[in-house]
Amino acid sequence: MADVKWIKIVTDVFDDEKILLIETLPEADSIIVLWFKLLCLAGKQNNSGVFMLNDKMPYNEKMFATIFRRKEATVQLAFKTFEDFGMIEIINGAVTIPNWGKHQTLDRIEQKNEYMRNYMRDYREKQKLLIGNGKLCQNGLNVEDWKFVLNYFDYECAYCGEKNNLEQEHIDSVSNKGLYEIGNIVPACRRCNASKGNKAMEEWYSQQKFYTETRCQKILNYIKLCKTNVNVLRKVNVSEADKDIDKNKNKSKSNICAYFETFYSLYPRKVNKKKAQEKYYSILKKSKSPEETANDILEGLKKYIDFWEKEKTELQFIPHPTTWLNGERWNDDIISAKPKKINIFNKVVNEVRNGTEN
């Protein structure tokens, strides 16, 4: 998005009904100053009136107090007033300015970029998408589905790998009858989201300097698997869905990539992904039946996850995924080792399962 260093303030702002009411309150001057500081910060962030430190953390009152150099109690009073008057809205803990369009309209930028017209038209929906709230958004996924998609793409932009300011991007744009569902929405940084606009994904992506065959194949595989059965990406037992996709036992890189992403998303100790991926590819490429081997690996991992959960295994005692694969641990009949126990592992396993099964 272009850098915009201005906000619009009308000359009769102090005749506004809400400002007049604020002027009757205790600490009116401080509240009004904080309102203009809030508007300036929103303009500086240029984030559609949503105050986020990053794509996961909204600003809280203590942060605002530090940035505005005001006492936290004064900020709390001001924000309570703004919320009562409808000047701000708190969505899932994040402060937003619901009518931000009247403070910063991007007319000149809109003339240069057709995408910006759609962006401004849908900015209220975008606010919710940026926050990732638990409600079903009109133009995006609910929070559980969104977390799942983020996890699948390793919390990176599906196109360039950027990790900050991720938005829900439609592979097939809404104007081209693209749907608001898993399989058509991927995480994208604002730069990629704005650049792609309504263009066809394959045509646009192949022309970008940051294009990689690996990321492109991952996106295409994601689309294919979701069209077949979205649960293939959520559940441990994916063999039937994989067989439907790969009836001829095709050993293509795209399918092997899908199997590995499922394996790695479930494995509790996420370290040395590249080495684990290379080992996993080697195992499946040598196999006469990659689908059966992939399913055997997942079934074996499921047993280990159940065991680690039951034993409350400390995360540091779980082998690296590469080590686990090197030892062909999915073939173990009896798990004889009994690692140390610690309560933290319950949380790890729950996060893994919630991210893949919900």
pLDDT, tens only, 213-225? 888 888 988 887 7
Please give the pLDDT value at position 32: 92
Do 266 and 309 belong to one domain? yes
Please give the pLDDT value at position 105: 60
Do 80 and 6 belong to one domain? yes
pTM: 0.33
Please give the pLDDT value at position 224: 78
Do 123 and 138 belong to one domain? no
- Identify whether 224 is part of a domain: no
Please give the pLDDT value at position 33: 93
The residue segments making up the domain with residue 153 are 134-211
Please give the pLDDT value at position 118: 57
Is the sign of the CA dihedral 57, 60, 65, 66 positive or negative?
A: negative
Do 273 and 319 belong to one domain? yes
**Structural domains in the chain (count):** 3
Cα–Cα distances (Å) from 242 to 67, 283, 353, in that order, read: 52, 17, 20
Three-state DSSP at 218 gives helix
Q: Which of 176, 211, 246 is at the close of a domain?
A: 211
Please give the pLDDT value at position 139: 54
Please give the pLDDT value at position 42: 85
Do 106 and 163 belong to one domain? no
Name residues of the chain where pLDDT drops below 70.
Answer: 1-4, 104-140, 227-258, 334-358
Please give the pLDDT value at position 109: 45
pLDDT digits (tens, 9 = 90+) for 8-47: 787 888 888 889 999 998 889 999 999 999 988 888 887 8
Cα–Cα distances (Å) from 14 to 10, 21, 38, 146, 251, in that order, read: 9, 10, 16, 42, 69
